[in-house]
Amino acid sequence: MEQYVIKGGSPLVGEVEVGGAKNAALAILTAAVMTDEPVMIDNIPDVSDINVLLEAISVIGATVERIDRHTVRINGATIGSVSVDYEFIKKIRASYYLLGALLGKYKKAEVPLPGGCNIGSRPIDQHLKGFRALGANVSIRHGAIVASAENLRGAHIFLDMVSVGATINIMMAAAMARGNTIIENAAREPHVVDVANFLNSMGANIKGAGTDIIRIRGVESLHSSSYSIVPDMIEAGTYMFAAAATRGDVLIKNVIPKHLEAMTAKLEEIGCDVEEFDDAVRVSAKRRLGKTHVKTLPYPGFPTDMQPQIGVTLTLASGTSIVTESIFENRFKYADELTRMGANIKVEGNTAIIDGTDRLTGARISAPDLRAGAALVIAGLAAEGITVVDDIIYIQRGYEDFEQKLQGLGAEIEKVSSEKEIQKFKFRVG
């Protein structure tokens, strides 16, 4: 088991480069198997979720060739099975995209119920409702979703709630259905748009992605394509809040500033300066941060995947802030860990009430999930003294070279894999 050891208390200063979006890449790599021609995908982040998904795709028979660290060529022509093994699925959420992709292409799929971060109950009823509307028979047998259809037919589907996963899954299943599909109350996240753009680059006919009504005209088949994944707005946002919490000055490069507006607005509200360039943002915090209230919402609202990072930052702001989590019920697991570092944070239902303090102190803490883990690293960077973060395996699901990128900003952070190493590190920096 690996840990991070952090000596905190210094501002982050410098430049950091953001990679491709994990949540776009997971869907796009899955959609790539929908053609029998080779597809080249670039700007893929080298994180464990992606590697698990690529393995799952190759185990069902697709040809997966790593061209370099961030580029793969996939060929779905060699797929021999539409039944996905539980081994891969239990580790990641996005395995559910194999349902939409395989059902869309072969009109049948068998995929175990997905895993992913334990941030709430995470039902997939809207995905299944969409597949059924397209004419599939869907049942759950022995822990797996089994979907099949003679033919898929376009349908008018109204999602009961805004769901990124359901929107993307239905888009994939409908891409080669007969006739027209309309998804209403669709998710508008940049990764939904990226998946639609990718499917269109393979010959699909999808319009309206990025609005709440997506129209899909089914096509006969999809073809070869070459595509580059959109920059990761959550990775970018994490560095933006790391800059703010440590009262640093960081230029975050390779971003689409428009995708970051909800984060930019909150940072400005709490007293940071945010400068936007064509493909970069610079965040600097010259004075003590102020309080704010924030509620997570589907895009373009403040993202739930950034809630722990803003929560940590607000523990160091002056005044009382209120953070409301409206998407997932179990995303405050970082609060107890933060309390051990001296934060005043009280969670009541889906709300955290944070009384800002002027300092956190290092402690031994544990990453409860991906984003909460990243947020606790930010807490360690801002805190006085040494913080040890256990269970960083969660953080590795979604952040490429996290410690190296932070080191590039002047952070004293090391990845270690034994208690002995922790002691050595403490001695070295102490």
Ligand X SMILES: CC(=O)N[C@H]1[C@@H](OP(=O)(O)OP(=O)(O)OC[C@H]2O[C@@H](n3ccc(=O)[nH]c3=O)[C@H](O)[C@@H]2O)O[C@H](CO)[C@@H](O)[C@@H]1O
Q: Does 263 bind ligand PEP (CB under 6 A)?
A: no
What is the rounded CA–CA span in Å between residue 58 and residue 64? 6
Binding partner of 163, given ligand X, ligand PEP, none, CB within 5-8 angstroms per partner class: ligand X
Neighbours of 310 (CB within 10 A): 29
C-beta closer to ligand PEP: residue 92 or 314:
92
Neighbours of 354 (CB within 10 A): 27
Category of 23 on φ-ψ map: left (φ > 0), alpha (ψ -120 to 50) or beta: alpha
Distances (CA, A) of 32 to 7, 93, 198, 199, 398: 43, 18, 9, 8, 21
Q: Is 327 annotated as a binding residue?
A: yes
In degrees, rounded to 5, the angle at the alpha carbon of residue 295 between the alpha carbons of residues 290 and 300 is 105
What is the rounded CA–CA span in Å between residue 329 and residue 228? 33
**Among 79, 117, 164, 317, which one carries the catalytic annotation?**
117
Subset of 69-108 contacting ligand PEP (CB under 6 A): 92-94
C-beta closer to ligand PEP: residue 93 or 405:
93
**DSSP code at position 353:** E
Subset of 17-46 contacting ligand PEP (CB under 6 A): 23
φ/ψ of residue 129, rounded to 5:
-60, -40
Q: Total residues contacting ligand X (rule CB under 6 A)?
A: 21
Q: Does 259 bind ligand PEP (CB under 6 A)?
A: no
Candidate residues 32, 84, 157, 327; the one interacting with ligand X per rule CB under 6 A: 327
Subset of 390-429 contacting ligand PEP (CB under 6 A): 398
Q: Does 325 bind ligand X (CB under 6 A)?
A: no
Q: Is 170 annotated as a binding residue?
A: no
Cβ–Cβ < 8 Å for 96, 169 = yes
Candidate residues 64, 101, 117, 310; the one interacting with ligand PEP per rule CB under 6 A: 117
Subset of 106-125 contacting ligand X (CB under 6 A): 120, 122-125
C-beta closer to ligand X: residue 70 or 127:
127
Q: Does 161 bind ligand X (CB under 6 A)?
A: yes
Four-CA torsion 94, 96, 98, 99, nearest 10 degrees:
-160
Candidate residues 127, 259, 333, 397; the one interacting with ligand X per rule CB under 6 A: 127
Binding partner of 65, given ligand X, ligand PEP, none, CB within 5-8 angstroms per partner class: none
Q: Does 126 bind ligand X (CB under 6 A)?
A: yes
Binding partner of 398, given ligand PEP, ligand X, none, CB within 5-8 angstroms per partner class: ligand PEP
Subset of 328-357 contacting ligand X (CB under 6 A): 328
Residues facing residue 140 across a β-bridge: 145
Candidate residues 45, 76, 112, 116; the one interacting with ligand PEP per rule CB under 6 A: 116
Q: Under 8 Å CB-to-CB from 332, ≥6 apart: which residues? A: 311, 325, 347, 352
Distances (CA, A) of 341 to 283, 365, 403: 25, 9, 21
Sheet holding 108-112, edge to edge: 108-112, 144-148, 137-141
Whether 272 is catalytic is no
Give the residue numbers marked as catalytic. 117
**Residues at the contact surface with ligand X, assessed by CB under 6 A:** 23, 26, 93-94, 120, 122-127, 161, 163-166, 187, 304-305, 327-328
Residues that bind ligand PEP (CB under 6 A): 23, 92-94, 116-117, 119, 305, 370-371, 398
